[in-house]
């Protein structure tokens, strides 16, 4: 008698854990990557477009901007590298969404580095 034992490794479904977003602190390297990414007007416009919706497909972004798909992909890669947006693949489509915690952390770090304001603390 031959007994066949099939061992199929089944992994329990593990929920995807979002990267922690600590608005109170930002590493200097990430701060500089974000500043560089936002310095380009087209990237900033892409970030605004993505931020205007809960999630936006790359194809839709290509329809909104008069540049090649390769250019859009390059700019999106820079925004992802800076940590400003995250991507989600669904089949052949890639969807992007803004990471609000990172934007808040960047704004807080910018405010910490450049406190600004008029002398005496009063703003008009």
Element (DSSP H or E) covering residue 44: helix 41-51
Query: Is residue 17 included in any domain, yes or no?
Result: no
Query: Is residue 54 included in any domain, yes or no?
Result: yes
Confidence of residue 123 (pLDDT cuts 50, 70, 90): low
Average pLDDT, stretch 17-26?
A: 54
User: For the chain, how many structural domains are there in total?
Assistant: 1
- List pLDDT tens digits, range 30-55: 999 999 999 999 999 999 999 999 99
Mean pLDDT, the chain, whole residue set: 82
State the Cα–Cα distance between residues 34 and 84, nearest whole angstrom.
7
Question: In the predicted model, is pLDDT for residue 84 greater than 70?
Answer: yes
Question: In the predicted model, is pLDDT for residue 2 greater than 60?
Answer: no
Domain that holds residue 53: 28-113
Average pLDDT, stretch 95-111?
A: 95
Q: Is 96 exposed, middle or buried (CB count within 10 Å of its CB: 0-12, 13-18, 19+)?
A: buried
Give me the CATH number covering residue 61. 1.10.10.10
- List pLDDT tens digits, range 47-80: 999 999 999 999 999 999 999 999 999 999 999 9
State the Cα–Cα distance between residues 83 and 99, nearest whole angstrom.
7
Nearest to 32 by CA among 81, 97, 76, 71: 81
Write the secondary structure of 48-115 as one string of H (helix), E (strand) and C (coil).
HHHHCCCCEEHHHHHHHCCCCHHHHHHHHHHHHHHCCEEEEEECCEEEEEECHHHHHHHHHHHHHHCC
Nearest to 101 by CA among 26, 15, 17: 26
Query: Is residue 20 included in any domain, yes or no?
Result: no
Token pair 């693949």 in the structure block, residue: 89
Query: Is residue 3 included in any domain, yes or no?
Result: no
The pLDDT, as a whole number, for residue 26 is 87
Strand partners, 88: 95
Which pTM was predicted?
Answer: 0.73
């Amino acid at each position: 008698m031959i007994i066949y034992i099939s061992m199929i490794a089944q992994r329990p479904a593990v929920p995807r854990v979002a990267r922690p977003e600590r608005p109170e602190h930002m590493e200097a390297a990430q701060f500089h990557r974000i500043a560089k990414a936002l310095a380009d007007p087209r990237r900033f416009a892409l970030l605004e477009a993505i931020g205007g919706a809960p999630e936006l497909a790359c194809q839709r972004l290509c329809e909104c901007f008069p540049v090649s798909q390769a250019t859009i992909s390059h700019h999106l890669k820079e925004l992802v590298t800076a940590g400003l947006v995250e991507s989600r693949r669904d089949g052949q489509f890639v969807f992007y969404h803004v990471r609000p915690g990172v934007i808040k952390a960047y704004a807080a770090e910018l405010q910490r580095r450049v406190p600004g304001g008029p002398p005496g603390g009063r703003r008009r």
